[in-house]
Structure formats: structure tokens, C-alpha cells
């Protein structure tokens, strides 16, 4: 039996940092990092070129630091370093299961990882290495969602998959409203008009302007990312009409 065909040649996956902490409420659990690595491996084995952005909220949230009275730029710098910790952990977990991986950072720290060099990242992908982009955009005030949209466009990914804690995009908060309805598809314009919490406005407007399709799926259901790549219907597709 032949391999099932992927819909895409090159994808970018955004993972929330919180996904790595499992039930312990903080940091990285071995079970979750291993689970995430295996989910990535399934996509990699389809022959798809995979790049990843991981958040840092399991270690430090810039917005929370700023709300607690810290200078926003300092808090965001700490948040960006948190994404480097997660990226190194994910790189290790992927390489332990035989998936060649490179980490590139938006803030120079050459002793720890390569700097972000767009063309080098694309060469790594062509050589079937997973590339993890760490340290966000390298600037405060930008989220890792914005970094994910930016990198996805820069390296010419066909889609950004946001693997997150919920099944997709709802018309209202499903945790507080039993009658919340999930969209199969929705346009960026509707997301903006209805003020739906998919990504922050900077990320949404960049994705809309650059016509980058975004697929939101639940990371915690096994095989979900692979199913999106195989074209199965699940989660929510956000796109330009
Ligand atoms: P090719 O050039 O395609 O062979 O890629 P490669 O990544 O295998 O080779 P390279 O010689 O560039 O890198 C070898 C290893 O060193 C890889 O694990 C890289 O991630 C790592 N590496 C490359 N540049 C840097 C850097 O500036 N800092 C750190 N810490 N590691 C680096």
C-alpha cells in the first residue's frame, strides 16, 4: 500500500507553549514533549517539509509580566527566551526519535543555536530537516502567533496549522456557552468583524493581507495535524474568500 498523499509540500505548525506542560501547570513534561514530537513525526513521515514555532507561555508570558507591572519590553524579552527553552526541548525530543531537526533563533545566541537565516532554513527543509524557529520575531510587542505567520510566509509555507487547546474556532467561548458553534471554515474578515479570538490582531491582519490559510485544530487529539495535512475535514480553516 502506497503512502497517502499530502495536500501540502511545506507547512508551518504553531504549538502553544502551554501544550508542553501537561497537567503539571508549568514547564515541560516528558510525556507531552514526547507526544508532540510523535505527532510531528507522523507528518514528517508523509514527506512534508515541516517548520515549527512554539510559544513560551508554559514558562513565562510577556503579557502577564507586563500586567503585573513589569516593563513590557523586558517581559516580552523573557517570553522570547522561554520559547528558546521549549524549542531546544522539542528539537531534542524529535532527534531522539530519529527526526533530524535544526533550531534557528531570532535573537542571536550562536553558542546555543543557529541564527535565523531564511535561505538556510529553506535549505534545511529541502534536505528533509524539521526547522524550529525560536525567540518569536526577535522583537517585543509581537506574539509567537505573529512570528508564525511571518516565518510561514517568509519560507513559503502553503498553510499555517495552529495546533492548540480547543477543537477549532467557535462563535463564542465554548467553555462558557453550551450552545457555542464551531466553524468549519471562516474568512479572516469575519474573524475580525466578529472579534473572534483566533490569534491577535497583528497576526490575523498579516495572515489576511498575505493570504496565508490558517487551520486551527486540537493538538490533544492524536493524529489531528496529520489529518489536516491529508485533507481530512476537522477543526476550522480560516482563509480569504
Ligand atoms: P548543511 O550545511 O546542509 O550540511 O547543514 P547542517 O546544519 O547539517 O550543517 P552545519 O555545518 O551548518 O551545522 C552543523 C550543526 O551545527 C547543526 O546541528 C546546526 O544546527 C549547528 N549549527 C550551525 N550553525 C550554528 C550556530 O551558529 N550556532 C550553533 N549553536 N549551532 C550551529
Q: What is the pLDDT of residues 10-38, one digit of tens each?
A: 999 999 999 999 888 899 999 999 999 99
List the chain domain ranges: 10-239
For residue 1, what pLDDT band results from cuts at 50, 70 and 90? very low
| CATH topology assigned to domain 10-239 | Carbamate kinase (3.40.1160)
Q: C-alpha grid cell for residue 58? A: 508554559
**pTM confidence score:** 0.95
Ligand 1: centre distance to CA 2 (Å): 34
Ligand 1: centre distance to CA 42 (Å): 24
Provide residues with CB under 6 Å of ligand 1: 102, 110-115, 123, 127
From 111, 114, 124, 127, the mutation candidate for ligand 1 (largest count of ligand atoms within 8 A of CB) is 114
**CB neighbours of 119 closer than 8 A, spacing ≥ 6?**
none
Supply the angle between the helices 144-154 and 201-209 in degrees, to the nearest 10.
20
Task: Please tell me the residue having the least CA distance from ligand 1 atom 32.
Answer: 114
Per-residue pLDDT, averaged over 86-103, amounts to 98
Q: C-alpha grid cell for residue 159? A: 498553510
For residue 67, what pLDDT band results from cuts at 50, 70 and 90? confident
Amino acid at each position: 500500500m502506497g503512502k497517502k498523499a499530502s495536500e501540502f509540500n511545506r507547512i508551518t505548525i504553531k504549538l502553544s507553549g502551554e501544550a508542553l506542560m501537561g497537567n503539571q501547570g508549568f514547564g515541560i513534561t516528558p510525556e507531552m514533549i514526547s507526544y508532540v514530537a510523535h505527532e510531528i513525526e507522523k507528518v514528517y513521515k508523509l514527506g512534508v517539509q515541516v517548520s515549527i514555532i512554539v510559544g513560551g507561555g508554559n514558562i513565562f508570558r510577556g503579557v502577564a509580566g507586563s500586567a503585573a507591572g513589569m516593563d513590557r519590553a523586558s517581559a516580552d524579552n523573557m517570553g522570547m527566551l522561554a520559547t528558546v527553552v521549549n524549542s531546544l526541548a522539542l528539537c531534542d525530543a524529535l532527534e531522539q526519535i530519529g527526526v533530524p531537526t535544526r533550531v534557528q533563533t531570532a535573537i542571536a545566541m550562536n553558542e546555543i543555536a543557529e541564527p535565523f537565516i531564511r535561505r538556510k532554513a529553506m535549505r534545511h527543509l529541502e534536505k528533509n530537516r524539521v526547522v524550529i524557529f525560536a525567540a518569536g520575531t526577535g522583537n517585543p510587542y509581537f506574539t509567537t502567533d505573529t512570528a508564525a505567520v511571518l516565518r510561514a510566509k517568509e519560507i513559503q509555507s502553503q498553510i499555517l496549522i495552529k495546533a492548540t487547546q480547543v477543537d477549532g474556532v467557535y462563535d463564542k467561548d465554548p467553555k462558557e456557552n453550551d450552545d457555542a458553534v464551531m466553524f468549519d471554515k471562516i474568512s479572516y474578515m469575519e474573524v475580525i468583524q466578529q472579534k473572534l479570538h483566533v490569534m491577535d490582531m497583528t497576526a490575523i491582519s498579516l495572515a489576511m493581507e498575505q493570504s496565508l490559510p490558517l487551520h486551527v485544530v486540537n493538538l490533544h487529539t492524536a493524529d489531528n495535524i496529520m489529518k489536516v495535512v491529508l485533507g481530512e475535514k476537522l477543526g476550522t480553516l480560516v482563509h480569504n474568500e
